[in-house]
Each structure stands twice: as structure tokens, then as C-alpha cells.
Amino acid sequence: MGTSEQGRVRRGKRPLVVVGVILGALVVAVGIFLLVRFLPTTAVAQQDGTVLSTQVSRGNITTTVVGSGNVEDHLIDLTTLTGITIAELNVAVGDTIEVGQLLATVDTSSLSSAITAVSDELSAVQEQLDALSDGTTETTAVTAKSLATVKTIYATEGASAADVIAEQGALMVLELDGGGEMLVTDRVGTISTIWVCEGWTVYSGSWLLSLELPVATQSSEELEVQRAALITELEALSALASEPYLYADQAGTISSLALVEGQTFNSTDGVAAELISPDVAQISLSIDELDIASVQEGQEVSIELDALEGVSFAGSVAEVSTTGSVSGSVASYTAVVTFERAAGALTGMSATATIIKEQKEDALTIPLVAVQEYGDVVYVYTTLDEQGVLGGEIQIETGLSDGTNVEVTSGLEEGAVVYYRQQSSTDTGVFSMGMGMGGERTMSSGGGFGGQGVPTGGAGPSLSAAPQ
């Protein structure tokens, strides 16, 4: 019996031991949880990296697009009048010419023919302008295209066809014999006569209505531009007839020549020759589709040649292509940059061109790494205590950034001191909580805090108002 009772006593104490162990484990777990929960996040995030300080200073911020290419010859177009015959040619491809040099002698008989042709064209344009001014018109008929029934007539005599269509969507609606509808939508002219009524049957070629149209086929603005160009051409032909010689108005080396002795020069663009400029070179840059919208003609460019170390050339964007080439799923566009050719800058040399997209001068700036982010809030640290903990968070607004420095548009004054942690190059923004627990909290790199909203107290930045 004694042994049996003793066994029962031992069995009765085991649950107490188990409960004690469980309670002990819970106490330890709760303690660890509270330590992790209330450990100041700012201090943890700042365990790595050296504290650096910087002053808000004034400087220039520039954003750029960088491209590479090779130095190319810059070509200049020499233009002249078309319809003239070259009696004698005084230059050839490869010749280097100067401004004012004689290029060719023109056959005067061809000039008389050209003057007559331009005069006739000018008279025709003037007739169209006169027709617009005195209201001269011609009548045209709008006909049915197939067997149909006139379902609805929106047109009214005296109304503008364009106005009726803008309001109703059509001049008439025809119900086709085979099913379906056809809209009559001739847009030009004034409706002079309506030849049908609703419910009538019409056949292919039947007149539906008549429109009065101006005799002129172009607008007065277009005709005036054409007239001015013809007058200028006529004046140039007349001057050439009195002195039938072509002279160069640009200097360079002839790379191509469209003038041929004994033949009439006819060209849609009027380019008689292309010259290689002695003073200007160019580079064709391939620009990514994400950057092309920010590249515009006239932008400043800094150019460096691999073969000429320490030398840079100032240039500008001369041309931007709107047609891209696609490689894989990425489109690229060509921008042509021109610059003054200097000694040693030879055709074919490899070049790097930096296009200046935007520039701010005398702006308040700080290093980009000093800027912290918490959700949509941007701030900086302005204090450092004896324990190495950063504080004094002040919300700021930023502007242009070049990837190294950033413009401060509000929140800080010149000379203010800003502190930040210099993180290692392998920093991923995830910092260990330590204590041998292996726990981690995810933060924005540079000591900022992830998540939305701005926490206060030890768990995150308490932002101050911008200093006055």
C-alpha cells in the first residue's frame, strides 16, 4: 500500500511541474516580445553606418541625358532655282569652295522659259484668290450609289452641308434595297437644290441634291502663301536673267553635286549640292524612348572625345527624330548634335555627349542620401545626441535632383546642418533587431521608415514644422 500511495503522490506532482515550465516559457516569450516591440526603431536602424553631417548650401543642379556615337561630317545644302539649264559647270565633287565662288553659268534661254512658267502659275493662283473674293462658285451634283429609298432628309436648301452634318450626322439617310442604310455625307459647299422627297425610290446615278462650291480649290491662306513664294521665285529668276551665274553662299568641300553641264536642273527640294562643313561636325545619338520626350532642338550639349582626354566641346541639339527603331521591346530615337570642329576632332572618333535637360542655378541643395522618406513624407534629421541617435526630424519639399544632390524648395535655410547615416554598399534596407532572436524590420534605406502615415515617439520620426 505504501508503495502504491507513493506512486500516486508522484503522479499527482507531474502536472504542477509541467504548468511551471509552460508559465516560465510564456514569461520569457512575453519579455522578448515586449523588448522587440518597444525597442526604438530609430536606434536600431542606425546601428550600421557612420554618421555624417552636411550644411545646406547653394549650388547648381543639372539633369542630363547621356548618349554616345561617332563624329560625323556635317553637311550643308546649297540650293538654287529649278527649271534652269546649266550652260557651264565650274566645280566637281571633292572640290573645296569658298563663299562667293563661281559654281556654274546658266543658259539664258532656259531662264526665259522658267520665268514664263512661274508667271503662268502665279496668274492661276491669283485667279483662284479673285474667285474667293467675288464669290464665284460652281455647282456639283450629289448622286445615289445604288437602288434605295429616301428614308430621311436633313438637308435644307441654302444651308451649309458641313453644318447640317455636324448637327444631324448626314445630309440624307437612304434605305438600301438589299437591306441596311447609307448616309449621304458630302461635306463641302452650300445646298442649292434638293431633288428628291422622303419615300422616293432612287437609282444608281439619280440626283439627290446639288451643292454650290467655290471655284478655288484651296483656302485663301494657302493661296496667299503660294502666291508669295511664286513672287519670290519670279524675282530670283529675273535677277538671274540679268546676271546668269550661280555663286556659292557657303564654304566647304563638295560631297555631292546635282548640277550637270548641258542639262536642266529639276529637283523638288532645290538642293544643287551638299558641302562638308569645315567648321561644324555632328554626332548622331541613340536616345531611349523614356528620355526622348525631354530632348529638344536647341538644348545645350557637352561633348567629350575618347581620343582627346580632358577636352570638351560645347554643342547643341540640331535635330530630333520622331520615328524610332525597335530592338526587342525597346524603342530608340536619333538626336543629332552639332558642335564646332576643333583641331584633333576627326571624323569617326568615338564621342560621349551629355545633353542638358534642365538646370537650376543658385539653388539650396543637400546630398540626396541625406533625404529620408516615410510614405509620402520627405524629411531630414537635424540633431545627433550623445548616444549617436539621430533626431530633430524636419519635413522638407524637394525639387530637381541630379542623382547626387537634390534641390530643397522649402523646409530648410542656407547653412542649416543635416545629419544622416552612411550605409554600406551592401545595405538592403533590412536591419537585424539583434538580441540573438533573428527578428527583422523592413525600413526605407537611409534610415527612413516604411509603411503609411507618420508615427511619433520612439517608433518613428516626429516631424517638426519647417523653420521660419
**Segments making up each domain of the chain, as ranges:** 41-61+362-459, 64-73+278-359, 81-104+245-269, 108-136+216-243, 137-214
Contacts of 370 (CB under 8 A, 6+ apart): 52, 54, 380, 418, 419, 420, 446
Number of other CB atoms surrounding residue 259 within 10 Å? 20
CATH for the 64-73+278-359 domain, from 1.20.1250.20, 3.40.50.300, 3.90.1660.10, 2.40.30.170: 2.40.30.170
CA-to-CA distance for 284 and 275, rounded, in angstroms? Answer: 18
351-408 pLDDT tens trace: 999 998 888 999 999 999 999 999 999 999 999 998 889 999 999 999 999 889 999 9
Which CATH topology does 137-214 take?
OB fold (Dihydrolipoamide Acetyltransferase, E2P) (2.40.50)
Residue with cell 546649266: 86
Per-residue pLDDT of the chain (468 residues; tens, 9 = 90+): 444 433 433 444 444 444 454 555 554 444 434 433 333 333 334 445 689 999 999 999 988 899 999 999 999 999 999 889 999 999 999 999 999 999 999 999 999 888 998 899 999 888 878 777 666 677 889 999 889 999 999 999 999 888 898 888 889 999 998 888 888 987 678 899 999 999 999 999 999 999 987 665 557 788 888 889 999 999 999 999 999 999 999 999 999 999 999 999 988 889 999 999 999 999 999 998 888 988 999 999 999 999 998 899 999 999 999 888 898 888 999 999 999 988 889 999 999 999 988 889 999 999 999 999 999 999 999 999 988 899 999 999 999 998 899 999 999 999 999 999 986 554 443 333 233 323 322 233 333 333 333 434 333 444 444 443
Tell me the C-alpha distance between 462 and 468, whole Å: 18
> What is the distance between the alpha carbons of residues 359 and 352, in angstroms, rounded to a whole number?
20
Contacts of 376 by beta carbon, 8 Å cutoff, 6+ apart: none
Handedness of CA 425, 428, 430, 432 (dihedral sign): negative
Residues 6+ apart with CB under 8 A from 111: 84, 237, 240, 241, 244
- Under 8 Å between Cβ of 145 and 180: no
Residues in the chain, total: 468
8 A C-beta contact, residue 81 and residue 271: no
Q: From CA 354, how far away is CA 302, in angstroms rounded? A: 5
CA distance 322 to 328: 19
Other beta carbons within 10 Å of 366: 23
Nearest to 176 by CA among 146, 153, 197: 146
Rounding to the nearest 10 degrees, give the CA dihedral for residues 95, 99, 102, 104.
Answer: 70
Q: Determine contact, residues 251/273, Cβ cutoff 8 Å.
A: no
Interatomic CA distance for residues 433 and 443, integer angstroms: 12
Domain covering 41-61+362-459 in this structure, CATH number: 2.40.420.20
Question: How many CA atoms lie within 13 Å of 324's alpha carbon, on the beta-carbon side?
Answer: 16
Q: Is 212 within 8 Å of 162 (Cβ atoms)? A: no
Q: What is the CA radius of gyration of the chain?
A: 41
Q: Which one, of 257, 311, 319, lies nearest residue 282 by Cα?
A: 319
CB 97 within 8 A of CB 91: yes
Spatial separation of the C-alpha atoms in residues 275 and 468, rounded to whole Å: 62
Non-local CB neighbours of 230 within 8 Å, separated by 6+ positions:
118, 121, 122, 125
Task: Give the torsion through C-alpha atoms of 345, 347, 350, 353, to 10 deg.
Answer: 70
Nearest to 163 by CA among 191, 183, 143: 191
Decide if 407 contacts 401 (C-beta within 8 A).
yes
Q: In a 3-state reduction of DSSP, which class is residue 226?
A: helix
